[in-house]
Structure 1
Amino acid sequence: MKVSKSKSPIFSTSLKWATIPIFFAVLLRYAPGYFYGNKRVLEKPIAYEIIDDFLSESDVLDLREWVFNERRFATVIDAAARGVQSIGEDEPIKPDGTCDDMTFTASPSSPTCKFTGRSDIAQHFVKTGGHRGMKETPDKLISSTLSFINYYPDKVNDPAIKKLFENKEYLKKVGNICHDGWGTRGPRKEGDFIFRPTQVNIVLVPPGQDLPLHQDNQWYWGINQLSQPDWLLHTVQESGLYKDKMIPQAQGVAYLHGTKEKPYYENGGEYVFFPYGPGADAMELKPKRGQAILMDGGRMIHGVARTAPGYQVAAIDKDVFNRIEYQGNETWYLLSDDELIDVFKTSDLRMTFVWRGLCFHDEAEKAKFEQHLKDEDYVPQYTLLKQLEEHMHETGRLPKSKNLENMPRKEFAQYLFSKYLQYPLDTMNTAWFPINYCAASLGKPWLKALLSPFCVDRKERIDLSDQYPPAKEFCAEGRGERYQTNCNKM
């Protein structure tokens, strides 16, 4: 007689218990991506173009010489401190010159603390740990975001710079970017647009630094970085309220690092961008000497993955004057106020020449824009904030009981950040758990101690001044208060 065998109760129970860690592993892997971030996927990709040899070797050498002659490059905090800087969230600076809130900074032109110009970038970066999903404390991550950048609005008229924008291949490809911004893809006549450069930048990214995901400052008829804080421009972009008022722009990124024989930056620092929108996968490009990437950076989310992953950056405090200065002999000093906190060689730096410009249909529209700037024909800030308040009420982002009149400006700004300024959770393909749990330790010493075995903290601040020759004297007249510091010996 055939005897049927039943499953062992012990085996069945063990199998159930074994599935529990699998369930939680899957939950930790995919749940954050479901609940967090901007998941919008575009039907058509935002246009981008790549010109492999945009800069000749002679161009690269000339631009590198310019970088060496400039000598000093400050952080993005100093670079963003221009135009209107707050919506009224200002708080007093502490006696030691710092700010209570991690996302607040004090600029040299203001006696108060306020949201940094790109607080949207910093907040997302701390929550996610960047493109590689780093598990690091907020202090460590903030020290890893302060790339060094100089803005040169007047350099667009320099003959050597203007020459770069007259290249026929470049004009054809930048025309594709402009027309994509207008929504008019496909065949068109050559020269049926006007490109107005607005500024050129030099960006130096030392080892251990990220350039977190971001969009470039948008330009609208009535709203720009001269009339509103930088982060508010991106709120307007995500709200869609001024979509028909946005002026298309074209950003170019070209690389100056490496050598003719070894043109690639081999130690991280990939260019990351999202042509299909924040809900789609990112694309990555290894930066190559002389190569240019063109896109509308006001519409395309992009950034730079960490350079030299694993390098322990110096303890940079965001509320002091941080800059990188060339000392000659291929040597750069990282200075924080009067302290020397790190030293690099030119070959360590990811070195980028960046330019931006606006797209106009013809000379008449360009002239209209010039007059628009001259007249400062801008939307008043209160009007804009009321429009955003109404939009949040209509879309359920803000309770009807809350409004500009009964909310502190800081609280209102925090609503704007949380409801509009969510960059993609781009660590899904680079980290098992795509949220930086170390961020939870902010302001909680007991939790920081508990998580310390699993989180990288920033290293102790060390002044290296007695180990190297003194920093060379520096003074740059006409470039702002902080560029005239150290006119005498440090």
Structure 2
Amino acid sequence: MHSKISIIEDMLDEDQKTALQAYTLASSPLKSNLADTATTKPTHESALEDMPILEDGTCSHPYLIPNINKTSCILAQRIDIGKHYIMTGGFSAVKENYATAVGRLMSFGRYVFSIDEPVISDLFKSKKFRDAARDTCPADRQVLDPFQFNIIIQVPGQTVAQHIDGVYFEGADRFDVPQWLLAAMKFSGLWDDYFIPQVQVVAYFHTWTWSPDRGGEFAYWLPDGSPATLVQPLSGYGSTVDGSRVVHAANTYFPNRKPPAVDKSKDVELRYSDSTKTWTVYEDGTPTDFTYPTPELRQTLVFRARCFPSEAALENFKNRSNRIPLTSILSRLTYDLRSRGYTIPDSRLDLCILIMKVYIKYPYPSSLIPLNYCALQKLLLEKGWDLTPYFDIIGCGVDAQPSRISVIDFGGLFRSAFGNYMHTIIEGLSVFKAFKFEEFKEELKDSIGLAQKLKGVVVWGGVLIAGTTIKLLMFSGRVKRKKA
């Protein structure tokens, strides 16, 4: 999972940035990233994990959203991204409630699988792109196939969570099966012989000058386990990388501002008003209170090309023959899970969650507590345990400011082990399992030992209980804060 990364200072000139600004205005309304299937219309929108939709058209399960026809609830196309962010708080280790995390992730944009737009066509033909692409693509795959560009808009308070881009295989891509499943296929290594490398450019066309309070840096992780490398989102600059092999993200944009409060089960979009020269978030056709002038938007252009060994290989791919059936993909993963000693769940939804848990590995935050314990509130509520007052006291309420536990780096081993402790607990809750010791033991057996796990749970529990006790005492007036 690695690729060379390059920074191009003058990827976009002033005329290109102006053209992209005009294209963005003309593209209004911009859909949220959860509406991805409306653009790609895959053969299989789900991996057959469909659950009944509620009478009000929503989905109660934290991982599910309505399908394109609003007839059932399915896993979001990139639930692997959202699931990891909500559980960990992203690489900034934010501790915040589920609803706030969802709004933070639902950026806006337009996804276009064509290069006919003049400004985009010119960029793909430019020497700057061609040179960077040949440097990024493997030496034996120098035939480029430009195929996609995206306009990505983030409003203040939003982020791009850790992820790899939509993966392409010979026989399977986002037009065939869910994208979270493609990510699992890539991480598993079982289809490496069919993998198609790609090059993407992430470039910025906003008009503002970057400052540290804005945040929004591009971040990427090398495979050696080192902390993230941050790249400032300077207007006109571009980063080239194979995003399907390198885990990357964006730091929260204006991290001290709240993201839009939106519902994952509703149609959310960003609309431009020519009369007020502002952008407003809409939910099911109704305007919300979240309105922004254009200079407050983080505006990103992403454009991609696939890397092929020959023109013949490119033509063979475009013929879209010999597709890999969804059932074959799931069968191969299930067989591999059994060979690793996992028990295969009866529920297809639980199987999908297990596939993501075992194969998809995004980095944990380098913080003292690398899990977002505030997300437990939503998962416990789904089990019928309303502990809202408790979570409000420890700073997890809807109106609470997100907290970022100090990013002290205790080393990869500690982060991995500690993260695994809490990841296991949250996973167990998220799939609605009873708290039986044998089931909990089954959840833990694939890690570094039951005794170590239980010890880690006790340590984390002690930290949380101690912190909560102090907050409760402060709340009751028994402990006074020390004045500066």
Question: TM-score per shorter chain, which class?
Answer: 0.7 to 0.9
Offset from partner CA, 1:240-276 (integer Å, 9 cap, x none) = 00011100111111101124xx366850111111133
The answer (yes or no) to whether the contact 1:46–1:276 under 8 Å persists in 2 is no
Which range is displaced more, 286-295 or 330-339?
Answer: 330-339
Matching residue of 2:122: 163
- Write out aligned runs for 1:235-314 (5 A): 235-259=184-208, 262=209, 267-276=214-223, 279-314=225-260
Q: Return the offset for 1:369.
A: 1.2
The answer (yes or no) to whether the contact 1:79–1:149 under 8 Å persists in 2 is no
Q: What's the secondary structure of 1:141's corresponding residue? A: helix
Q: Provide the C-alpha distance between the structure 2 equivalents of 1:327 and 1:413, rounded to a whole number of angstroms.
A: 41
Q: Provide the C-alpha distance between the structure 1 equivalents of 2:52 and 2:236, rounded to a whole number of angstroms.
A: 46
Q: Return the offset for 1:152.
A: 1.1
- Is 2:314 the partner of 1:366? yes
- Is 2:160 the partner of 1:211? yes
Q: Return the offset for 1:134.
A: 0.9
**Aligned residue pair count:** 391
Q: Provide the C-alpha distance between the structure 2 equivalents of 1:368 and 1:355, rounded to a whole number of angstroms.
A: 22
Q: Provide the C-alpha distance between the structure 1 equivalents of 2:160 and 2:350, rounded to a whole number of angstroms.
A: 27
The answer (yes or no) to whether the contact 1:312–1:459 under 8 Å persists in 2 is no
Matching residue of 1:25: none
Offset from partner CA, 1:353-372 (integer Å, 9 cap, x none) = 1112211122222111111x
Q: Provide the C-alpha distance between the structure 2 equivalents of 1:290 and 1:266, rounded to a whole number of angstroms.
A: 20
Offset from partner CA, 1:183-237 (integer Å, 9 cap, x none) = x6xxxxxxx7221112111000000111111111110011111111111001101
Match of 1:414 among 353, 356, 372: 353
Q: Name which one, 1 or 2, has greater alpha-carbon Rg.
A: 1
Q: What's the secondary structure of 1:144's corresponding residue? A: helix
Q: Return the offset for 1:447.
A: 3.1
Q: Provide the C-alpha distance between the structure 1 equivalents of 2:165 and 2:67, rounded to a whole number of angstroms.
A: 20
Q: Return the offset for 1:110.
A: 4.8
Amino acid across the alignment from 2:388: K
Amino acid across the alignment from 1:451: F
- Write out aligned runs for 1:219-234 (5 A): 219-234=168-183
The answer (yes or no) to whether the contact 2:45–2:67 under 8 Å persists in 1 is no
Q: What's the secondary structure of 2:389's corresponding residue? A: helix
- Is 2:29 the partner of 1:72? yes
Q: What's the secondary structure of 2:332's corresponding residue? A: helix
Query: Structure 1 residues 327 and 459 mapped into 2: Cα distance closer, same or farther (>3 Å)?
Result: farther
Q: Return the offset for 1:119.
A: 0.8
Offset from partner CA, 1:115-146 (integer Å, 9 cap, x none) = 01111111111111112111101111111110
- Is 2:292 the partner of 1:330? no
- Is 2:10 the partner of 1:53? yes
% identity of equivalent residues: 27
Query: Structure 1 residues 109 and 198 mapped into 2: Cα distance closer, same or farther (>3 Å)?
Result: farther
- Is 2:97 the partner of 1:149? no
- Write out aligned runs for 1:54-203 (5 A): 54-81=11-38, 82-83=41-42, 84-154=44-114, 156-179=115-138, 193-203=142-152
- Is 2:332 the partner of 1:387? yes
The answer (yes or no) to whether the contact 2:36–2:77 under 8 Å persists in 1 is no
**Structure 2 unaligned residues grouped into runs of 5+:** 401-484
Matching residue of 2:403: none
Q: Return the offset for 1:434.
A: 1.7
Amino acid across the alignment from 1:365: A
Query: Structure 1 residues 432 and 408 mapped into 2: Cα distance closer, same or farther (>3 Å)?
Result: closer
Matching residue of 1:438: 374
Q: Return the offset for 1:80.
A: 4.0
The answer (yes or no) to whether the contact 1:139–1:457 under 8 Å persists in 2 is no
Q: Return the offset for 1:49.
A: 1.2
The answer (yes or no) to whether the contact 1:75–1:147 under 8 Å persists in 2 is yes
The answer (yes or no) to whether the contact 1:274–1:283 under 8 Å persists in 2 is yes
Amino acid across the alignment from 1:79: D
The answer (yes or no) to whether the contact 2:57–2:70 under 8 Å persists in 1 is no
Matching residue of 2:445: none
Amino acid across the alignment from 1:353: L
**Structure 1 unaligned residues grouped into runs of 5+:** 1-41, 185-191, 461-490
TM superposition score normalised by structure 1: 0.76
Which range is displaced more, 357-366 or 442-451?
Answer: 442-451
Matching residue of 1:9: none
Amino acid across the alignment from 2:311: E
Q: Provide the C-alpha distance between the structure 2 equivalents of 1:264 and 1:51, rounded to a whole number of angstroms.
A: 20
Q: Provide the C-alpha distance between the structure 1 equivalents of 2:232 and 2:394, rounded to a whole number of angstroms.
A: 30
Q: Return the offset for 1:348.
A: 0.9
Q: Return the offset for 1:455.
A: 2.8
Q: Return the offset for 1:177.
A: 0.9
Alignment root-mean-square deviation, CA: 1.9
Q: Provide the C-alpha distance between the structure 2 equivalents of 1:223 and 1:314, rounded to a whole number of angstroms.
A: 35
The answer (yes or no) to whether the contact 1:268–1:307 under 8 Å persists in 2 is yes
Q: Provide the C-alpha distance between the structure 1 equivalents of 2:298 and 2:396, rounded to a whole number of angstroms.
A: 23
The answer (yes or no) to whether the contact 1:87–1:381 under 8 Å persists in 2 is yes
Amino acid across the alignment from 1:234: A
Q: Provide the C-alpha distance between the structure 2 equivalents of 1:116 and 1:271, rounded to a whole number of angstroms.
A: 24
Offset from partner CA, 1:449-472 (integer Å, 9 cap, x none) = 212133343359xxxxxxxxxxxx
